[in-house]
Structures are given as structure tokens and as C-alpha cells.
Amino acid sequence: MNLKTVIIFVAVTLGVLLGVGGLLWQFGGNMDKSIAEIAGESVHKQGTGTIQIVEFSDFQCPACLAVQEPLKQILKKYEGKITFVYRYFPLVSIHKNAMISAQAAEAAGFQDKFWQMHDKLFATQSTWEGLADPRETFVGYAEELGMDRVKFVSDIESQGVKDAINVDLLVASRYGLGGTPTFFVNGVKTEFDQIEAKISSSPY
């Protein structure tokens, strides 16, 4: 092994270690926090209310799609009282395009278009869920939503995007989550059909 090869090997190894270390550092600080505190640190939030709803979701999940409209109605009805937080939980063992769709949403967030891509992915789930590789389809969505194509193509495969998703996966694992959608209201795991009752009884 010559000197140049050694230098390259060391650089790559350090890069991997720093990446993993950074990911563990992000999550490590959260290990003793409640789900509400962890979700409060998420960048994908809507609203500023004192009642916090956290959703762990998978863009390829049919059940997640099914709750989108009733969830929007709840958020609209209690607007001003709720902070809604989205967290990634791609079920890669059963949904082959779950991870890449999450990457598409996170990449869109790099251009302040997360929620637009969030809605687009759910609205078109039947279009891309069966594709062997939906990347070009997602690039098309990015362009429709006014994003920079070159940046989106670069970001969707970036380590920063993957790390953001992996942090959410670690949080889901920490709390023993097994399916989607999973909701928490003010830190308490709550079935979707009980969310409105929980909001109504909230002292906040």
C-alpha cells in the first residue's frame, strides 16, 4: 500500500467515523428526553400551538395516506392550538420506495419545499409506489414545485438527507414503534381516532 493509498484510506475512514459519530451525537443527546421534547427539535413543523401532535409516517404507507385528509381537517379545526410535527418512519422491509420517497421529501426541505413535497408524494402514491426506481418521477415533482433540479438531484442522495431520516428511525426504535402511522399527542401515544378527544380534553 503506497502513501497515496494510505492517505485516501485514512481520509475515507475518518469521514465515515465522523458521520456516524455526528449521527450518534444528535440522537445521543435525546436518549433521556420525552418524545415531545425530541419532536420539538424537528424542523418539519406546522403551527405554534401548545398542543403537540407528532406523526411518524411512511410516504408509501396506505394507512398514512388514508389519514391525510381527516388529519388536515383536525389541524384546520384547531388551528392556533396545535403544533404538528412530521417524523420519518419508512418501513423499508415492506415498502420498497419508502426510503427514497423520504429522501425526496427531505431534499425538498433543503429548498423550503418539504410540506409541498409531502403533500405531492401522498397525492401521487399510486403513481410511484410500484416503480422500480421513482427518482426521475420525484425530480419531476421537484420541478413542478419550483425547485432547482440540479440541487434536488444532488441533495436526494446526500449524506445530510440520509442522516436526517436515520435520526428519526433511531427515535422510532428508541420508543419501540412498529408501524405507521403512529401518533403522539403531548408526548402520549394516541390512536388516530382518539386524537380529537385528546385535544378536546387537553388543559393547554
* pLDDT tens readout for residues 11-40: 433 443 344 444 444 444 444 556 655 555
In terms of C-beta density within 10 A (0-12 exposed, 13-18 middle, 19 or more buried), how is residue 81 classed? middle
- Residues 97 and 99: their CA atoms lie apart, in Å, by 6
Q: What is the pLDDT of residue 9?
A: 36
Q: Given this structure, which CATH class describes domain 34-200?
A: alpha beta
Instruction: Give every strand in the sheet of 51-57, ordered side by side.
Output: 45-46, 82-88, 51-57, 182-185, 188-190
For the chain, which ranges sit under pLDDT 50? 1-31
Q: What is the pLDDT of residue 88?
A: 98
Domain ranges of the chain: 1-32, 34-200
User: Do 184 and 36 form a contact (C-beta atoms < 8 A)?
Assistant: yes
Q: What is the pLDDT of residue 27?
A: 42
Alpha helices, DSSP H, located in 40-111: 62-77, 98-109
Taking the complete model, does pTM exceed 0.85, yes or no?
no
Q: What is the pLDDT of residue 11?
A: 40
Q: What is the pLDDT of residue 203?
A: 72
Q: What is the pLDDT of residue 21?
A: 45
Q: What is the pLDDT of residue 22?
A: 47
Q: What is the pLDDT of residue 33?
A: 57
Q: What is the pLDDT of residue 153?
A: 99
Q: What is the pLDDT of residue 177?
A: 96
